Structure 1
Amino acid sequence: MSLATRCPSCNTLFKVTSGQLQLHEGKVRCGQCQTVFSGIEHLTSADTEAWQKLDLSPKQSNSDHNLAGGDGTGSEDLFANSTPTKPLFNFSQGNPALKAACVVLLLALGLQAVWWQRSELLQKMPALATKINEASPGIQQLFKAPATQALVVEGSGLQALDEHNLRVDLTLRNQNKLPTSWPHLKVDLLDPQGLVLASKSLAPSDYQLRDEGSASEAPLIRGQKTVEVLAYLNLSTLNTQLPESAATGFRLELFDQGPDGQ
């Protein structure tokens, strides 16, 4: 049965049917001002009497529906279906592949955080650190500590071998429980006033262990181990100031890679 109801806010007249009002508990939304009102209570006088004669009990429904404004001709879509809002992720009913991907991502992030803090964590597990020191070179490389964080200089000296050559003696100690790599060195030769006469950057292949070969060919420095390093400097290859002003001291810096980033 065709009926007419009027919005109490803007007085727009709408054409509805008894079935639509019964289905939606009589609630409609004005398409002009968006007011939600009872279409039954605001039927026109004649339609109110007709509605009462129908004696229809409204059915239960929890949905609000839009009632488009019109001119009463019935050409508008009066009761458009509304779509309930859904959460972005519903893990109880979601795609199993999506849930698995989220779990894998969380595990990967957790493992990455542990990996970046592996040195600090292993310091608190001496037994495991000992196992790593005794493991293969590949395993040691995975868990090695940075040289600049692990090594300390416990002794050093500068000796003139002849008028053209100097030798720098270093005693390095790995204070970390994990193995560490051989560091890059930067040696500054100083005059009696402490001014820098010349500088030399040394890779592990440029210095050697006492009574042994090049440091680059030696195993990693094990945790808690002390090593002695010898570095030889040729004065004629450094700069022109040295022949005129003899170096009486030196300053040393350790790097995980060369000072120039190489």
Structure 2
Amino acid sequence: MSAESSSKLNKLLRDQPAGVVLCSAWLVDNGYSNDLQKRYKNSQWFESVGTGALIRFGDQVDYLGAVYALQTQLGLSIHPGGKTALALQGKSHYLELSPKHAQLFGDQGEHLPLWFKKRDWGLSVKCALTNFLPPELGLIELSHKQFKVKVSDPARAVMECLYLAPKSQSLTEVFELMEGLNNLRPASVQKLLEACKSIKVKRLFLYMADKAKHDWVNYLNLDNVDLGSGKRSIVADGVYVAKYQITVPKALEALA
């Protein structure tokens, strides 16, 4: 390997943390040609994890190392959300030692690269692409291994759970998650509620926060929150909650 190639390799190894995916297109944009990448692979500095993606040779890369690449190299808004984001922040009541599922969210019009979808990350990864919330709102940076990824903050994560409910997410479980969020910042919740496009999500969020008797609810200004008009039946054969004009599961309404 030439001195120039070796110097560029050292810079790449120094600047990029271990445990992450490196996208070939991003490498090309930063001066690492496809030919140079091939030489690095032949010299066993890097190995392919699918078309268009590399990792350090022998490195252990999980799905968060791939999400890092999606966010920092491809400029996507895809991030861990819902129960996954809460679990990563230690705010999930069901914390699994080795989770079997990961839920990602991204903006409408984005897509996961083929290398991400084809790779076995050791768990099932689902991705919901939706614009019910702005892609930049309600995200925080979380440290993982030697790098950071953006994940949903607790308020956004609960809203994402409610977006998936009741079809893909139990409403009673979401309420149990909501019960633990007694220290949300009203200003942050206010911004999310004002920006949220889903009437269902907003009504359920406020209903659950009310039911959990969280103090921060008292500091919200609902005059600026569009809660729509008319009744919403979230489930069939449920209980009607007049204050929020929603029909919720009997088991949820029965919870103290």
TM-score by length of 2: 0.21
Q: Between Structure 1 and Structure 2, which shows a larger proportion of helix residues?
A: 2
TM-score by length of 1: 0.21
